[in-house]
Amino acid sequence: MRLFSVSAFVLFPVTAALILVFGSSYKPNPAPALKHKFIIIAHRGDHVIYPENTLKAYQEAIDHDADYVEIDLRTTKDGQLISMHNSTVNRMTNGDGAIKDLTFEQLEKLSVKSRDSLDHTTYRIPSFEQILKLCKNRIHIYLDFKEADPLAAYKMIEKYGMQKQVLVYINSPEQYTGWRKVAPAMPLMLSLPDEVHNLDGMKDFLTHYHPDILDGSYQQYNPEMVIFAERNHLPVWPDIQSEGEGPADWNKALATGLKGLQTDHPAALIKFLKEKALR
């Protein structure tokens, strides 16, 4: 999920540890090891079928053999970590209010709305701990770090021994410094700024902010950029999810040389790739 932009990092303290010459001192942390040659990230789980950011949506992504589930991490009033995209519960549940103003006990009582009016199943807001239990040794986690403490999140990841199953998407300078301090080896993902569409711009961004994995829009990248990133062991797994996402978009991404995408249709994209012998 793209919320990060380079403008957020303009205020980031510029230090010798960050301004490095790309290709010399800068060596990205490796992403979690995966079994597929094309990486599929299920955006908020398989949420076209089940409500987003629910255990059922994550389970569906697991069942379809996606490589990652993207989850949105937030903190409750009483310090519990849960997954929801928005800062309030208004859009996705039968309740209202900001997550930071509600306790976990209050959130547990809410029902998450289904996309299907005929679906009368009761869905709940999952805790981070429940998600880790579900995903351990089954699928990796793309942690969109909305509003949480890196130390609290990392302690929970350590509790389940999942340090090698998680990457963290960074939304602010504070998150970046927090994660680098708490877990220096954790792979951090940043979005390529919207204004960057060529190799020189990408090199400048990498030199100053040294991400471990690149996000952004799949349409920002060209083959030269993708080849450069691959040669420097830097995965490029951008967003392709959109209202009209389908084979036309996927073919454009393949033509660019991309080998990973965040999608709203993991099962359909996996089927598409298998038909092309790319998965």
Query: What is the per-residue pLDDT for 243?
Result: 83
Residue of higher predicted confidence among 75 and 1: 75
Nearest to 134 by CA among 46, 35, 56: 56
Mean pLDDT computed over 127-140? 98
157-186 pLDDT, tens digit each: 999 999 999 999 999 999 999 999 999 999
Q: What pLDDT is recorded for position 22? A: 41
Local confidence band at 115 (pLDDT 50, 70, 90 cut-offs): confident
Q: What pLDDT is attached to residue 25? A: 62
**What does the mean pLDDT of the chain come to?**
91
Give the pLDDT mean for 77-85. Answer: 98
233 near 37, Cβ under 8 Å?
A: no
> With contact defined as beta carbons under 8 Å apart, do 217 and 2 qualify?
yes
- The answer to whether the beta carbons of residues 279 and 38 sit under 8 Å apart is yes
pLDDT, one tens digit per residue, over 7-55 is 444 434 333 333 333 444 678 999 999 889 999 999 999 999 999 999 9
Question: How many C-beta atoms lie closer than 10 Å to residue 169's C-beta?
Answer: 26
SS3 sequence of the chain: CCCCCHHHHCCCCCCCCCCCCECCCECCCCCCCCCCCCEEEECCCCCCCCCCCCHHHHHHHHHCCCCEEEEEEEECCCCCEEECCCCECCCCECCCCEHHHCCHHHHHCCCECCCCCCCCCCECCCEHHHHHHHHCCCCEEEEEEEECCHHHHHHHHHHCCCCCCEEEECCCHHHHHHHHHHCCCCCEEEECCCCCCCHHHHHHHHHHHCCCEEECEHHHCCHHHHHHHHHCCCCECCECCCCCCCHHHHHHHHHHCCCEEEECCHHHHHHHHHHCCCC
Q: What would the two tokens of residue 236 be? A: 């490029």
Dihedral class, residue 234 (left if φ above 0, else alpha if ψ from -120 to 50, else beta): beta
**CB count in 10 Å sphere of residue 275:** 10
Q: What integer pLDDT is reported at residue 110 of this predicted model? A: 98
| Residue 10 pLDDT | 40
- Average pLDDT of 98-115? 96
Do strands 188-191 and 213-215 pair parallel, antiparallel, or not at all (unpaired)?
A: parallel
Q: Which domains does the chain have, with CATH numbers?
A: 6-275 (3.20.20.190)
